[in-house]
Amino acid sequence: MKHLMLVCVVSLVLVSSTGVFAQGGDGYPPITPENVADLELVDILGKGPLIDVQVIDDGATLAALSTGGITLYDTAAIYAPPRYIRFEENYFGPGRGAIGIAPEAAVLYRDGQATVFAWEQPYAPTTRIEVDLATGTQTVTQLSRRGAVAFSEDGRWMVAYSPFGAAREMAMTVDVIDTLSGESYTLIEPVEEAALVDLGFVADDSLLVTVALYPDPAEVRTIEVWDLATGELVNEMTSPSYRVLVGGTYVLERLGLDGGFVLRDAVTLEQVAVPDQFAEEPVAAVGPYLVLAGRVPMADEQLVFWDVAAGAEAFRIPRRESVCTQQFPIDFAIGEDTIYAYESTSIVAIRLDPDRSTGWVQAQFGNYGANVTDMEFVGSQLLVSQSDNRIFTCDYRVHGVATFDLESGDLVDWLPTSSLVTQLAVSPSGALALYGPSAVEQYAPDRQSVVRYADERFDVDAFGMTYSDDERYLGVQSMWRVFLWDLADPNTGPALLSEESYRLGDNSNLGFFGSWFVFIADDAVQVYDVEQGTVVHKLTFDQQPWALDLNPVTGLLVVLEGEDDLSEQQLHVFDLANGFAPVNSFALPAPDFETLAVNPDGSLVVLAREGTWEESYPRVLVLDLASGEELFVAHDVSVDGGPLAFSPDGTRLVISYGTAVAVYTVPE
């Protein structure tokens, strides 16, 4: 089953390239029913969720790998603008990390070079990206081997493994490569119907611990300790535990779903004594510490660093200061006097005293993987609000509005906000309105001044916000209420038009056409005349109207009827310029659609669904608005009913998918 064989490293290369994303330009034609089938994914906007954080350059630099690229921070000035090297291609797939979960990758930093191995699934082919950290130059190699990669902390050892033999009709196997000499050997020969569930480097990276499920005995985890220099088996044992994790210098055995754990020395596999008060497993092992969160008396909302050798608590950090979301950090990187805890959205620098007896939060930074909540085109730029409704106590740098240049795909501006942002609106003159918990903030076009209006009637979340063309009014649809704010006298606050709004889709579900303010409330689409101060028309349907899109120039109104559940949904088209005349109605090919957007000439509608109905059915599709015919399916992107939009000139379609934005165009 296990065989040692020294061989030379063989080339696994199938294709080598240095390709880049196609970039936008004025030459792109408008998207029409005739050419929409030719849509191509041309760019991915956003850094994406964090995957890996390491201290490099003898402690001078913190390197953060995310799905979008590599960010280099100066550890001596952590809040200084970092250097960002954007990946030239989408190596991870646009659907990866859609709910803040980072895809898998491994990276080795050596001699000013980053070698990144990326894979969409552990059973998919691996991509190797060589990045020159000084110039940003990138070379891409597609490898024939399927599987995953891990590096030892010192960078000497690379382990390539295929973990899921039983589930993916692949034999589980583990190969070891000495990155200094170039020699490799097979540590674990291919085993059918087996699965590698965890591995870790221990004993100053001289040993490798593997945890595997072999077919015999079934459902029993085998823990094996290997000498990386010789490939010899040093120690082994079997464990009936529910889960086994390798971290730091320890092996953690989780005893069952009800909690409880056994801590073992990673070399001898002997049990290490721990205090009885540790009723559940730690969340991580970092160097000499076990990290616990709310697991010990009086430790609620705390990260506790326990020194196992000393048998005592080293220090603790308030979790509300150190962890951005309600999730625990996914990993840690250790510097000389700083521990960097990170999850998919941000990094926390925990500064240690010289004797490492106490620690405190020095900084929280980064803008990774926060959910896209709304989008708005402004000329050749796209404004994207990024937040997470789990985040209420984070450092302000986590929430905000990103501005992307659509020609280059670069992030050109980041406007941090004091709280989460669920909706944004841009006026014709460039003023920016942001909706956060119980407040609306309005920024001047130069973003230098801001007016904040708080109202206890505002709900935590919002599902629509828009300016009138004359900028006199701002319409707001919160979770349960609809407001109209007369900006001629902003201090009077918004007028409440309805307290019977409904939980709607994530796109803006309201709009202006002339003096009419159109919104969904009281199980109907209502038309409120701002000059008369009253509702002048209602559109009712057999089911609850769920979302709408209104062209403020032509008056074309498209309404999605039916909640995003298993009920049948209908699409209705009206002409508000001609007395609410019905134009068309048709049934959608599947339920669960959450949001919609119509192109500028009113010929196409794009819809996104939550994906809770039938996973084989596409989550994003474009229909002919005149016939209801399906013309395009976005196979490249996986969404959850998030915001989407056509550009004002109709040449781009942007689709959010959790933490980033996919840009589609028709080739020139």
Residue 403, in any domain of the structure:
yes
User: Does 174 fall in a domain?
Assistant: no
Q: Within a domain: residue 4?
A: no
Low-confidence stretches of the chain (pLDDT beneath 70): 1-26, 92-103, 120-125, 144-146, 163-170, 217-219, 242-248, 255-260, 274-283, 293-302, 318-330, 367, 369, 388-398, 460, 500-508, 564-567, 610-618, 635-641, 658
Structure token digits, residue 493: 């606050």
| 536, 527 contact by CB (below 8 A) | yes
What are residue 57's phi and psi, to 5 degrees?
A: 55, 45
CA atoms of 344 and 553, how far apart (whole Å) = 41
Amino acid 20: pLDDT: 36
Alpha-carbon distance values, 315 to 236, 347, 348, 382, 627 (Å): 33, 19, 16, 44, 65
**Which of 368, 393, 418 is at the close of a domain?**
368
In-domain check, residue 378: yes
Residue 65's pLDDT is 92
668 and 623 both lie in a single domain: yes
Condensed to tens digits (0 to 9), the pLDDT of residues 1-40 reads 333 333 333 222 222 223 333 344 457 999 999 999 999 8
* 281 and 350 together in one domain: yes
pTM strictly above 0.85: no
**pLDDT digits 0-9 by tens, 283-326:** 677 777 777 765 444 444 567 788 877 777 888 776 544 444 33
CATH value at residue 428: 2.120.10.80
* 173: in domain: no
Is 630 inside any structural domain?
yes
Q: Are 562 and 610 within one domain?
A: yes
Is the previous residue joined to 217 through a cis bond, with omega within 30 degrees of 0? Answer: yes
Q: Are residues 352 and 436 in the same domain?
A: no
Q: For position 462, what pLDDT does the model report?
A: 76
Which residue range is the domain that position 551 belongs to?
542-668
Whether residues 563 and 648 share a domain: the answer is: yes
Residues 563, 493 within the same domain: no
* 341 and 392 assigned to the same domain: no
Task: Kindly provide the residue ranges of all beta strands, DSSP E only, lying in 192-259, ordered along the sequence.
Answer: 195-202, 207-213, 221-227, 233-239, 243-247, 250-254
Query: Same structural domain for residues 362 and 377?
Result: no
Total number of domains constituting the chain: 3
| Domain end (from 315, 347, 368) | 368
> Is residue 321 in a domain?
yes
Q: Which of 345, 368, 391 is the last residue of a domain?
A: 368
> What whole-number distance in Å separates Cα of residue 644 and Cα of residue 654?
6
Average pLDDT value for the chain: 79
Cα–Cα dist 71/84, whole Å: 4
379 and 497 together in one domain: yes
The CATH number that applies at residue 601 is 2.130.10.10
Q: What six digits make up the tokens of 254?
A: 């989780």
In a domain? residue 607? yes
Q: Are residues 631 and 653 in the same domain?
A: yes
Residues 556 and 660 both lie in one domain? yes
Cα–Cα distance, 153 to 205 (Å, whole number) = 7
User: What is residue 480's predicted lDDT score, i.e. its pLDDT?
Assistant: 80
- pLDDT of res. 142: 82
Report whether 484 contacts 466 (CB < 8 A).
no
- The verdict on 546 and 494 lying in the same domain is no
